[in-house]
């Protein structure tokens, strides 16, 4: 038998064995094809629950250490969450959950209670802390991927992390909150507050004393504050300051690409210095801007006095608008609605000031384009038999001669 006939003979043996009726090797027809399986039922929504593993096998630390007044708490941890709350006892309770390779080291010496996360292999893992401290105890927390929340303390607070949100309720004296990739929120802090982040926002409420707030990519909001010295700076973000000024207080607000909105109150007493480069200025107070001088845009750099001018307010924006208000500031949604109402229901981002001749030419061009659209048959396809070709477009008239636009008068704030 030739080599090429061996597969055919082998197939015949497999199809029909000796003594058995022959079976057809023909494939089943389309009607006899097996139907594909029915699609699985969609997964019903699953309700997630907050929290991490609560296994009883997970190592846990729960230790209480007595302390005396004047002792400072210093916590250093690589990653995790830290929650600090205050009580009236002269003791510190340390509660932590961590993996089997990590341990919590607590040592007291030189008026300092140190809490460290140590690991048997490599850097420390994720450890979540809950610390209960005396209200008078200063708190110092540092880490890499660490988020911290501190509530109820009445002493100095210092928190520094690379990635993590920081929230503070309370604190007095020297208060420092620093993060790179994290949002910062502080409420009710007093003394000297320094809040700094890079890629997130800063929100301060009810703070008092001296305040410094710095960010690169984020907004800064300060409301209901009683500060005598304020330094706010951001690169890509808006600034909102809604608080009364103090006599002889100094308030400096600067942004590169963002708007500045301040509310100084109905009875404001301040000397306000304004400087913009590519932005507009508006005010609820009756402020008349200076006239433009040749070679110098005085509308971009000026100052005015409200009341007796007891406080000094400096507002500077490179590519953003500046607004000074008497009452509560509008939210962004309320601001957009206010602009639409002011512009007759048109949501416009800029004003167009054209001479009568130029405006007539533009209107004529628009009417010609609309007339062309009215004569256009969208069903007509050129080159297809039985389909009418497109009608020729009417001739577009030339725009009338355009005269130079008259100089634009200075805008009166609040108009």
**What does the DSSP assignment read for 343-405?**
TTT---SS-----HHHHHHHHHHHHHHHHHHHH--TT--TT-TTSPPPPPPPPPPPPPP-PPP
- 322: Cα within 13 Å, side-chain hemisphere: 25
- Domain tally, the chain: 1
Residue-level pLDDT at 283: 85
User: Which residues form the domain of 256?
Assistant: 201-288+303-343
- Residue whose C-alpha is closest to residue 244's, from 301, 189, 306: 306
Contact 206, 186 (CB under 8 A): no
Query: Does residue 193 sit within a domain?
Result: no
Residue-level pLDDT at 141: 97
Query: Does residue 5 sit within a domain?
Result: no
Residue-level pLDDT at 325: 87
Residue-level pLDDT at 101: 77
Residue-level pLDDT at 123: 66
Residue-level pLDDT at 338: 60
Query: Does residue 129 sit within a domain?
Result: no
Residue 362: partners with Cβ closer than 8 Å, 6 or more residues away: 354, 399
Query: Does residue 111 sit within a domain?
Result: no
Q: What residue ranges of the chain have pLDDT lower than 70? A: 1-33, 52-59, 122-124, 292-299, 331-336, 338-340, 342-415
Query: Does residue 407 sit within a domain?
Result: no
Query: Does residue 262 sit within a domain?
Result: yes
Query: Does residue 326 sit within a domain?
Result: yes
Query: Does residue 122 sit within a domain?
Result: no
Contact 113, 73 (CB under 8 A): yes
What would the 3-class secondary structure string for 195-228 be?
Answer: EECCCCCEEEECCEEEEEEECCECCEEEECCEEE
Whole-number Å distance between alpha carbons of 92 and 85? 10
Token pair listed for 167? 């929230």
Q: CA separation (Å) from 249 to 228, 230, 231?
A: 5, 8, 11
Residue-level pLDDT at 97: 86
């Amino acid at each position: 038998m030739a080599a090429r006939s061996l597969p055919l003979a082998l197939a015949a043996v497999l199809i029909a064995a000796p003594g058995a009726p022959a079976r057809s090797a023909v494939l089943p027809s389309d009607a006899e094809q097996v139907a594909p399986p029915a699609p699985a039922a969609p997964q019903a929504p699953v309700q997630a629950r907050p929290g991490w593993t609560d296994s009883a096998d997970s190592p846990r630390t729960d230790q209480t250490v007595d302390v005396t007044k004047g002792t400072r708490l210093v916590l250093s941890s690589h990653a995790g969450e830290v929650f600090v709350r205050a009580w009236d006892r002269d003791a510190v309770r340390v509660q932590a959950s961590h993996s089997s390779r990590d341990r919590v080291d607590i040592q007291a010496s030189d008026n300092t209670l140190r809490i460290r996360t140590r690991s048997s292999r490599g850097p420390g893992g994720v450890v979540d802390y809950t610390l209960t401290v005396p209200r008078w105890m200063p708190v110092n927390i540092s880490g890499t991927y660490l988020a911290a929340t501190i509530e109820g303390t009445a002493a100095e607070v210092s928190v520094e992390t690379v990635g993590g949100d920081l929230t503070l309720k309370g604190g007095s004296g020297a208060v420092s909150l620093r993060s790179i990739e994290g949002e910062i929120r502080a409420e009710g802090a007093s003394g000297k507050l320094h809040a700094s982040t890079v890629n997130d926002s800063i929100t301060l409420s009810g703070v008092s004393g001296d305040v410094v707030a710095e960010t690169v990519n984020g907004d800064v909001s300060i409301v209901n504050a009683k500060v005598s010295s304020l330094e706010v700076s951001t690169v890509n973000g808006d600034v909102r300051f809604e608080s009364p000024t103090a006599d002889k207080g100094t308030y400096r607000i600067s942004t590169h690409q963002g708007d500045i909105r301040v509310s100084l109150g109905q009875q404001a007493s301040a000397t306000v210095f304004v400087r913009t480069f590519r932005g507009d200025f508006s005010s609820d107070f009756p402020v008349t801007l200076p006239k433009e001088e040749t070679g110098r845009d005085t509308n971009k750099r000026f100052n005015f006095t409200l009341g007796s001018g007891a406080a000094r307010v400096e507002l500077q924006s490179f590519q953003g608008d500046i607004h000074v208000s008497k009452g509560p500031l509008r939210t962004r949604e309320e601001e957009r609605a206010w602009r639409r109402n002011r512009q007759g229901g048109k949501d416009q981002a800029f004003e167009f000031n054209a001479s009568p001749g130029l405006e007539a030419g533009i209107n004529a061009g628009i009417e010609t384009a609309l007339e062309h659209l009215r004569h256009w048959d969208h069903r007509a396809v050129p080159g297809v038999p039985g389909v009418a070709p497109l009608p020729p477009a009417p001739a577009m008239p030339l725009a009338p001669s355009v005269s130079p636009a008259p100089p634009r008068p200075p805008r009166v704030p609040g108009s």
